[in-house]
Structure formats: C-alpha cells, structure tokens
Copies of this chain bind each other. A is one copy, B any other.
Amino acid sequence: MPSTIVTLDAPLDMHLHLRDEVMLRNIAKASAATFSGALIMPNLVPPVSSKEALLAYKKRITEAIGEEHFTPYMTLFFKSEYDRAFLESVREELTAIKLYPAGITTNSQGGVSGFDIEALRPSLEAMSDLEIPLCIHGETNGFVMDREAEFVSIYEKLASAFPKLKIIMEHITTKESVAALDRFENLHATITVHHLLITLDDVAGGMLQPHLFCKPIAKRPQDREALLKVALEAHPKVMFGSDSAPHPRHAKETCGCAAGVFTAPIALQLLTELFDTHRSLEHIQAFISGNAQKIYGIAPLSKKVILEKEPFRVPAEYNGVVPMYASEEIAYSIKGVRHG
C-alpha cells in the first residue's frame, strides 16, 4: 500500500513570533523553510509602533531568512494615538495591527487598558476606512480559565461599534469564542495547532509541563472539541496561526517559566496528522492557506510542501529552543518543498 502523500499549497501562519536579534536569526528559518508567509507579531521591546521600526524589523527578518521564499506580513503594535494621517502613511507597509490588553502576555506592557469605545474610535474608524484588520489578543485580567470567555463581550462591543472593521480574534481557545464567530460578520479567528491538540490536562494534569505552558492557557476538553470542529471543517472565518513563540530553554525550564509553545518547525506535520486522523484532509488547504487569503486579501508566494505519512522524530531542540513534542515521534514528515 502506498503511504499517504499530502501536498500543501502556500501554507500561511497568520500569527507568528519571530522575536529579534539572536533569537530571530536562530529561528526565522524554521518558519521560512516551509511556510509561504506569516503574520509577524510586533511585541518586541520596545514594540513596533512606527513606520521606521516596522521597516527596520522587516529588514532584519529578511536578512534572517536569507534565501528562503517567504513573506513576512508585518504588523504594528496598536496604540490609540494612531491617527488617520499616520495610518495612511503606513498602510502599504503593513497587513494588520495587533492590539494587546496591557500586561496580558509577553512584552505587552504598553497595550490598551480598558476598552473605551470613544477613546478608540478615531484610530479604529481610520483602520476600518483603510481596511486594516485589527488582530486582538482577547483576554481580560480575570481568572486564568475565564479570561478569554470574559473577553468575548469586548469583542462583541468592538464588532458592533465598528461593523466594517475586520477583527481577528487571535489564538482562540474556548467554545465561547467559537460561538462568537457566527454572531458577528466582521469577527474572524486564528487557531494554533497546540490548542487543537492539548488541554490543561496536558500542561498540569500529570507532571507540570512548562513547554506546553502558553497564553491563553489550554482549556477544557469541550473547548478543544469546539476548536477542532471549526478547524477540521475549515470554517471560512478561521485560519491557522501558530502563535509559535520561542523562548530559550533556560527561560522555560525554571521557576517562573515564560509562556509560549514553539511549534513553527512541526506545525505542518502536526496539522496534517490531525486532519488525516479526523478524515478531514480535504479541508486542510483552506485552513492552512485559503481562508487566510480571503480574510486578509493576500496572494502568497507560490510554495508547495510535500508531506508523507512517515514517522518523524522531533529534535530535542532547534538552536537552543525546545519545540513541542521534543524528542517524540510524530506521524508525518516533510519530504520536499518546491518554489515557483
């Protein structure tokens, strides 16, 4: 019997942390080798919040990826001070703007406190007019298992107040966020691969697993079921975003471990295995690229990734960063990548 071959066309990762400096140089190729492009998160220190910073960061990314065919879709870190003139001046350089509630995750100290619609109106109306999507890390500062569900009312407030603004609920983890998708035409979502695979049980149900600790934290089995349903059917309002977030090993395996799961180099293999296991391979192309192309109106670089159902032993680390499933075997391997 021939083994299963799956070809993915122009895979897109619509939520990626590439960090900066040494880490950027160490891990950028892990995405660029197999993805056609990725939406690059702006939560550097200081955050990317000017045209100059954005262009300079894009240049550093381009240098780090070297010869790879890969588009970094750039974002700015949302500030309510952004006015129409500024947004017009940067429109061509960016794909989206990312909003962080203040202090909610890594390097988000300068984010939004409170969600006063009138205070946000000038910038959000300009974004709406200029068709700049707004990506949001949607968590309150409430109890860790409730933060995302509590934020749904803020998503709904924003979606109602700015009905033409395209809002992306980033890395959703709950059935409440899934349910919100269909209530507002302008709400969309990214889903990570790890939130399709794990629940809080995998993080803290046996031994404590720092390499599976992320924000938002993995939730309940019922939440994962809701995410799986819309991912596996490639619901047109959801798309893949890895939220792959590298930290050096020492920052993960320590007291007070940093949040983030590094999945970039194995995301396509894991997704292919997952869609195959659930007999949903006919929908993987839309989830991994087609839906994002429509939602963002982007035409990615041509890139074909060929995967085969052949066991792959995940490396223990990639340049000092421990990936999800380090040293474990996963079912699919990447057999080749074709450009052009």
Contacts and interface: CB of A to CB of B under 8 A. Distances in A.
Q: How many copies of this chain are found per oligomer? A: 2
Contact of A256 (B143, B209, B221, B257): B209
A208 B256 contact: yes
Contacts of A217: 204
Interface stretch (A41-49, A83-91, A195-203, A276-284): A195-203
Interface in A125-177: 143-145
A203 B259 CA distance: 12
A207 interface: yes
A254 interface: yes
Given A143-B221, A145-B145, A220-B145, A258 B207 contact: yes
Given A204-B213, A208-B213, A210-B208, A199 B257 contact: no
Nearest to A251: B207
A204 B254 contact: no
A208 B205 contact: no
Interface in A215-262: 217, 220-221, 253-259
A149 to B, nearest CB: 13
Contacts of A203: 204
A15 interface: no
A336 B230 CA distance: 63
A253 B209 CA distance: 11
Given A211-B255, A253-B254, A204 B204 contact: yes
B200 A145 contact: yes
A50 to B, nearest CB: 29
Contacts of A199: 143
Nearest to A217: B204
Given A145-B220, A220-B145, A259 B208 contact: yes
